[in-house]
Amino acid sequence: MSPSIEADASRLPATAPPKSARRVSLIWKTRWFGVGFIVLLLALWEIAAASGAVPSMSFPRMSAVMMTWWELIVSGELLGELVPSLWRMFAGYFVGVALGVALGLLMGYFRFFYSLLEPITEVLRPIPSPAYLPIVILFLGIDDEMKIFMIAFASLFPVLLNTYSGVRSVDPIQLQTARTFGVTGWKLLWQIVLPSAAPYIFTGMRVSLAVALIVMVISEMVAASSGIGYFILSAQRGFKIREMFAGVLTLAIVGYVLNRLFVAIENRVLAWHYGYTVQQRN
Amino acid sequence: MANSTRPFLSLRGIRKTFAAAGGTTIALNGVDLEIERGSFVSVIGSSGCGKSTLLQIMAGLIEPTTGNVTIEGCKVDGPPRNVIYVFQQYTRSLFPWKTVERNVAFGLENREQLSKEAIAARTQEYISLVKLTGFERHYPWQLSGGMQQRVAIARALACRPDVLLMDEPFSAVDALTRVGLQELVRSLWRELGLTVVFVTHDVDEGVYLSTRVVALGRPPATVAVDLPIELPHPRDQIATRALPEYLDYRGRLLAQLFAEEGLAARGAA
């Protein structure tokens, strides 16, 4: 994706206006333009709260939220809530991804598993995870097992479906090439199908990462005595409005950092894919 | 090259039918061919005549409806160890997630019981044979079309096959690159003592490269012309192509193709 944009940008200067005009026009192309917009919105929040236009009980100043957030970080309270949350999230996420990849490969590669599992996948997949949360609590209680199960189950489907699509779209020429070199069966699955489907798998994993974060918070809000979801809800119930906002702010930061990390890993693992896609397009 | 040895690669009564809307299509209708060890046989024919299908049957990639293929007397069912197939679509046949080096090593890692050092050495040997030294760490998509096809050739040859089956391997590269690849394949064929079966739609390419050209007719196809090419070796892109014998072979094969297509030879030549 990005290489083609860069290629377009590098072609621009030939027809672009003189330097000064170009510098002005480029500001809105940078990331800082959007960051500036966030700063502007936060400033508006600060002004709105400070002016008293909105009741300040449920709408604290942005600066007050930031101060509270910082205090909670320094005291270690927020990290204390974040650690169990992230542990649950990653435990569930990795279980879900592993199962999703394995089932997606089997369904894409073996007709038998497709026929067996496709209907049940389509029945289970549309159920919103909060809907089966009460059932899971009945069976697994309200401890970490329940949350990990919830997160794993919700993370599984995006990965499964994308892995399946990836396997189905492996180039038959690549499969035949491998066969002429004597690579068949499980070796073919491991050496050709899996790497070839990797771009699809990563797409699924990225969707699942967001899903895992959501389900983590939901399951902690419903039943928990620790975790960031629990922290936010109990802050709200105790009228600790600044703490509540600080918790949400923490989730925004966590979500952002996780996504950046994911993209960095994806770019590394799939470096070949971007170059290949550009070549295919030309 | 005309001195005959016992049949090495043998096709007997190859028929291939495909299920199609409203019945079955007969692609190949009884093809018999005996190919000698060390020969360079080109299979020509109009597009859709089943020449690629025939090659894939030789490679054990698809099964004939009836008939059989034997190599040194052994029946082909599934890709034989000593045969490597080079696909026309090199961009799709090379593995884009592997570097040139890893692509070339692919067959070695999977077919042969070799140590890591032996694989590395042989990979290097064949990369230099196709003149790609210095590009080991490049990915296929970072190379030109001709270089990519050379990677595919190196990958095939690294397994030291007896038979190289090539399906219109140079049809997607420009004319000059094509000349370079033709020379490369001819010299490798002579140096390594390979048997090459080369599918092409280009009569000139077939005559220039080969010791024998087989023309298939329109489907349901059989062997329409089987022509030994007795041009001297080494061949030269300019001198050989100017020989009266070369022009004679070319003319006879073109006349055959045009007749199949219902084209007037005078108009098209």
pLDDT of residue B266: 54
Closest CA–CA distance from residue B51 to any residue of chain A (Å): 17
B153 exposed, middle or buried (CB, 10 Å; 0-12, 13-18, 19+)?
A: buried
pLDDT of residue A24: 58
pLDDT of residue A25: 63
Question: Where is average pLDDT lowest: A51-60, A227-236, B137-146?
Answer: A51-60
What value does the mean pLDDT of chain A take?
88
Any CB–CB contact under 8 A between B106 and chain A? yes
What value does the mean pLDDT of chain B take?
88
Q: Is the same domain home to A154 and A53? A: no
Task: Give rounded-to-5 percent helix, strand, coil for chain B.
Answer: 40, 25, 35
Say if B147 falls within a structural domain. Answer: yes
Beta bridge partners of B43: B199, B214
Question: What are the angstrom distances between the C-alpha of B253 and each of A25, B197, B229?
Answer: 63, 17, 11
The average pLDDT across A247-264 equals 95
Any CB–CB contact under 8 A between B93 and chain A? yes
pLDDT of residue B45: 86
Q: What is the helix (H) or strand (E) element at residue B198, kind and residue range?
A: strand B195-199
Percent of chain A past pLDDT 70, that is, above it, reads: 90
Closest CA–CA distance from residue A171 to any residue of chain B (Å): 7
pLDDT of residue A282: 65
pLDDT of residue B1: 42
Whether B95 and A174 lie within 8 Å, measured CB to CB:
yes
Residue B174: pLDDT band (50, 70, 90) is confident
Say if B154 falls within a structural domain. Answer: yes
ipTM for the predicted complex comes to 0.84
Q: Is the same domain home to A28 and A103? A: no
Say if A6 falls within a structural domain. Answer: no
Q: Is the same domain home to A39 and A156? A: no
Residue A26: pLDDT band (50, 70, 90) is confident
pLDDT of residue A4: 39
Say if B131 falls within a structural domain. Answer: yes
Any CB–CB contact under 8 A between B266 and chain A? no
Say if B265 falls within a structural domain. Answer: no
Residue A225: pLDDT band (50, 70, 90) is confident
How many domains, chain B? 1
Residue B265: pLDDT band (50, 70, 90) is low
More confident site: B172 or B186: B186
Say if B116 falls within a structural domain. Answer: yes
Residue A89 has pLDDT above 90, yes or no: yes
Q: Are strands B40-44 and B212-216 parallel, antiparallel or unpaired?
A: parallel
Residues of B in contact with A198 (CB under 8 A): 97
Residue A21 has pLDDT above 90, yes or no: no
Interface probe for A, chosen from B110, B151, B163 (most Cβ of A below 10 Å), is B110
Residue B17 · residue B10 · CB < 8 Å: no
Taking only Cα atoms into account, the Rg of chain A, rounded to an integer number of angstroms, comes to 24
* Side-chain-facing half-sphere of A253: CA atoms under 13 Å: 13
Residue A9 has pLDDT above 70, yes or no: no
Residues of B in contact with A176 (CB under 8 A): 61, 85, 87
A227: left (phi over 0), alpha (psi -120 to 50) or beta: left
Residue B171 has pLDDT above 90, yes or no: no
pLDDT of residue B267: 47
Residue A7 has pLDDT above 60, yes or no: no
Q: Is the same domain home to A141 and A105? A: yes
Question: Where is average pLDDT lowest: A2-16, B186-200, B229-243?
Answer: A2-16
The average pLDDT across B8-17 equals 91
Given CA atoms B259, B264, B266, B269 in this order, what sign does their dihedral have? Answer: negative
Q: Is the same domain home to A121 and A255? A: yes
Say if A9 falls within a structural domain. Answer: no
Full residue range of the structural domain in which residue A253 is found: 62-281
pLDDT of residue B48: 78
Tokens of B148: 């990519």
Beta-carbon contacts of B148 under 8 Å, excluding residues fewer than 6 positions away, are B90, B91, B94, B140
**Minimal Cα distance from B158: which residue of A?**
A181
Q: Which of residues A7, A36, A59 is at a domain's end?
A: A59
Q: Is the same domain home to A54 and A111? A: no
The average pLDDT across B69-78 equals 89
Q: Is the same domain home to A98 and A195? A: yes
**Minimal Cα distance from A177: which residue of B?**
B93
pLDDT tens sequence across B26-71: 888 889 999 999 999 999 988 778 888 999 999 999 999 999 999 9
pLDDT of residue B2: 42
Whether B61 and A176 lie within 8 Å, measured CB to CB:
yes
The average pLDDT across A149-153 equals 96
Full residue range of the structural domain in which residue B99 is found: 94-160
Question: What strands, in cross-sheet order, belong to the sheet with B195-199?
Answer: B83-86, B163-167, B195-199, B40-44, B212-216, B223-228
pLDDT tens sequence across A93-141: 999 999 999 999 999 999 999 999 999 999 999 999 999 999 999 999 8
Q: Is the same domain home to A193 and A141? A: yes
Residue A187 has pLDDT above 60, yes or no: yes
Residue A275: pLDDT band (50, 70, 90) is confident
Residues of B in contact with A195 (CB under 8 A): 95, 97
C-alpha A71/C-alpha A91 separation (Å) is 29
Residues of A in contact with B85 (CB under 8 A): 176-177, 180
Maximal CA-CA distance, chain B: 60
pLDDT of residue A23: 57
B76: left (phi over 0), alpha (psi -120 to 50) or beta: beta
Residue A36 has pLDDT above 90, yes or no: yes
pLDDT tens sequence across A37-87: 999 999 999 998 888 777 767 888 899 999 999 999 999 999 999 999 999
Say if B253 falls within a structural domain. Answer: no
Any CB–CB contact under 8 A between B59 and chain A? yes
Q: Is the same domain home to A72 and A53? A: no
The average pLDDT across B76-89 equals 89
pLDDT of residue A13: 41
The average pLDDT across A172-194 equals 92
pLDDT of residue B258: 86
The average pLDDT across B120-126 equals 93
Say if A133 falls within a structural domain. Answer: yes
How many domains, chain A? 2
Say if B98 falls within a structural domain. Answer: yes
pLDDT of residue A58: 80
User: Considering the entire predicted model, what is its pTM?
Assistant: 0.83
Closest CA–CA distance from residue A255 to any residue of chain B (Å): 30
Question: Where is average pLDDT lowest: A24-33, B32-41, B89-98, B124-133?
Answer: A24-33
Residue B98 has pLDDT above 90, yes or no: yes
Q: Is the same domain home to A161 and A203? A: yes
pLDDT of residue B20: 79
C-alpha B8/C-alpha B163 separation (Å) is 10
